[in-house]
Amino acid sequence: METGQIFTDLLRLLAGTGVFLMACEIMSKNLEAISSDKLKKLFSKVSGNKLIGVMIGALATVAIQSSGATTVMTIGFVNAGIISLSQAATIIFGGEIGTTITGQIVALGMFNPGSFDINVLFSSLAGIGVFINMFARSEKKKLLGYVLAGLGMLFVGLNMMSTSMRGFAETEGLKLFLMSIDSTIALIIIGAILTAIIQSSSAITSIAITMVVTGLISLNQGIYLTLGANVGTCLTGLLAGMKSESINARRASLIQLIFNIGGVILVVLCDIALKAFGGISFAVIFERMFPGIPHTQLAMFHTIFNIVSVILVLPISDYLVELTKKFIPDDGSELSKQRFYYVDENMIATPSIAVQQVRREIENMAGIAIENFNIAVEMIRTHDLSKKEELNDNEEELNFLNHQLVDFIVKLARKESLSKKDHYYLTSTYRTITDLERIGDYSVNIMEYAQNLTQMEEKFSDEAISEIEGLRDLINRLYLLTMQIYSEGKRNLMRDAYKLEDQIDALTREMADSHIRRLNEGNCSANVGAQYLKLSSDAERIGDHLININDQDYVISH
């Protein structure tokens, strides 16, 4: 083959790989956007059942077309303390099964009955998808168009890679060189390095399939390149784990690495044993199982290998978790009060799930804010300041969330795969977070009134305390109703919320009138009265901020 033709085939391979990777990216983003609600429901079903965990991992990976994204998302859940390390392990195992679907799609596209080229049929989906996107009106149909376009582009890229491989196959020197690489370890390392570089085990597996089909490499070589790709894909999880401050997140990334390396070692040992005692190999077995269709042989090996690996490791997954705890022991570094409870930077890789967790983080923030209000009111009632440190710790946590959660949301809002509904919701969160932080500030004010009364050795009258308790009860009722509307999207309950706010406003006005009466009767000092009026004013503003959480035209119920 001429040098010019070799150069042309190299460019064609580069172009095909680029189109393939871009197609995977387009499919991943838009599949995730389409299935966002289903993904949210899927991950809400995580339980102690190992098979359910595997199923969730597999389905999530199929939905977002990336085992790396599933692993990163899972590490984020572990870091936020939403799932246990044992649950994370089963999801990661399931992700290894789900990632083999791309290889099966590629193998299907290379199946050519007679003179009909299925690859051309699938490639045409690129044009069909673009036309759907151009003329569709609904967001979901537009997203579907993008998914079809991505799927079609995947086969366009595959066709370009296959064409380049056929060109290389005509270069006898290159063919002989590739065939001479028969070292199992070398092939695994090459597969791992290539996967680590381009960050896609699916692409390396697909390239390996085309190389096997065109005769550039043997099925045996393709098997070990694919096994290397399995190891190389762990890099994404390892990077996410290392960046995380959570020890369990680091352990989760280590579990994936041990699982994949362990599976590779098992295959190598079994292959050696088969050759030594049976005179066959895995390559021979799959050639006999699927005669004459090398693309299916390699794709099926990858799928069956990952399924069998999960079946073997699942019964001992708890021991694997304990092993990672010995490798990465607790060091007491996760005792900080100021932290996220439900979100993690790694979750940004899967925006639809991250949006759900933002909602949960805000609900938790609201719980901290109302807890501080109740602590402060109890101080007013009893003059017991023993919980002052707890209230201050909560206030620091609210301030932390006010700044750090906003930063997280800003990053999340930039993701292109967000649905319009999720984008509008994120827009509303900035004001919500500010409202909750202000509730915390007013609670600190009420605590300071309790401190002032204690220092002055004065207290409210029994009548004033009774009014304060009534105000507290109304605010707690409004909080519970507000959170029900916020978490369940029950906008029809806003009328009841407004009624409660009106009752709070009416009670604060009555409290002002009662204060003036007690002052005139000599039952209340000017200093005590000043604290009382400030308290009622702050409590009334807390009610306003609770209403604001749902009283926004751009809040989109989920």
Both ends of the chain: CA-CA distance in Å?
60
Q: Which pLDDT value is given to residue 5? A: 72
Percent over 90 (pLDDT), the chain:
27
User: At 38, is the pLDDT very low, low, confident or very high (cuts 50, 70, 90)?
Assistant: low
Burial class (CB in 10 A: 0-12, 13-18, 19+), 52: middle
What whole-number distance in Å separates Cα of residue 78 and Cα of residue 43?
Answer: 12
Q: Is the pLDDT higher at 119 or at 460?
A: 460
User: At 265, is the pLDDT very low, low, confident or very high (cuts 50, 70, 90)?
Assistant: very high
Burial class (CB in 10 A: 0-12, 13-18, 19+), 384: exposed
Closest residue by Cα to residue 51 from 98, 101, 96, 93? 93
Residue 60 has pLDDT above 90, yes or no: no
Residue 76 has pLDDT above 60, yes or no: yes
Q: Which pLDDT value is given to residue 117? A: 65
Q: Which pLDDT value is given to residue 502? A: 92
Residue 133 has pLDDT above 60, yes or no: yes
Q: Of the ranges 25-29, 171-175, 361-365, which one carries the lowest mean pLDDT score?
A: 171-175
Q: Which pLDDT value is given to residue 165? A: 78
Q: Which pLDDT value is given to residue 555? A: 44
User: Mean pLDDT over residues 119-133, rounded?
Assistant: 85
User: Mean pLDDT over residues 65-72, rounded?
Assistant: 72
Angle at 369 between CA 366 and CA 372, to 5 degrees: 150
Residue 115 has pLDDT above 60, yes or no: no
Closest residue by Cα to residue 94 from 75, 67, 69? 67
- Interacting residues of 326 by C-beta distance below 8 A, sequence separation 6+: none
Percent over 70 (pLDDT), the chain:
88
Q: Which pLDDT value is given to residue 554? A: 36
User: At 557, is the pLDDT very low, low, confident or very high (cuts 50, 70, 90)?
Assistant: very low
Task: Find where tokens 């005669």 sit.
Answer: 291
User: Mean pLDDT over residues 19-31, rounded?
Assistant: 78
What whole-number distance in Å separates Cα of residue 189 and Cα of residue 346?
Answer: 27
Q: What is the pLDDT of residues 350-384, one digit of tens each?
A: 787 788 889 989 999 999 999 999 999 999 888 88
User: At 335, is the pLDDT very low, low, confident or very high (cuts 50, 70, 90)?
Assistant: very low
- Interacting residues of 393 by C-beta distance below 8 A, sequence separation 6+: 337
pTM for the complete prediction? 0.69
Residue 416 has pLDDT above 50, yes or no: yes
User: At 114, is the pLDDT very low, low, confident or very high (cuts 50, 70, 90)?
Assistant: low
Angle at 435 between CA 542 and CA 340, to 5 degrees: 120
Domains, the chain: 3-327 (no CATH), 347-550 (1.20.58.220)
- Interacting residues of 498 by C-beta distance below 8 A, sequence separation 6+: 547
Question: Using the 8-state DSSP alphabet, how is residue 328 labeled?
Answer: S
What is the chain's mean pLDDT, rounded?
Answer: 83
Q: What is the CA radius of gyration of the chain?
A: 31
Q: Is the pLDDT higher at 396 or at 250?
A: 396
Helices (H), 80-183: 85-98, 101-109, 118-123, 125-135, 139-169, 172-180
Which amino acid belongs to residue 32?
E
Closest residue by Cα to residue 221 from 266, 187, 171? 187
CB 344 within 8 A of CB 79: yes
Q: Is the pLDDT higher at 401 or at 32?
A: 401
Q: Which pLDDT value is given to residue 81? A: 66
What whole-number distance in Å separates Cα of residue 350 and Cα of residue 73?
Answer: 6
Q: Which pLDDT value is given to residue 431? A: 92
What whole-number distance in Å separates Cα of residue 256 and Cα of residue 78?
Answer: 14
Q: Which pLDDT value is given to residue 113? A: 57
What whole-number distance in Å separates Cα of residue 29 and Cα of residue 69?
Answer: 11
Give the burial string for 212-235 (b: 16+ CB within 10 Å, else e): bbbebbbbbbbbbbbbbbbbbbbb
Residue 205 has pLDDT above 60, yes or no: yes
Q: Is the pLDDT higher at 115 or at 403?
A: 403
What whole-number distance in Å separates Cα of residue 466 and Cα of residue 469?
Answer: 5
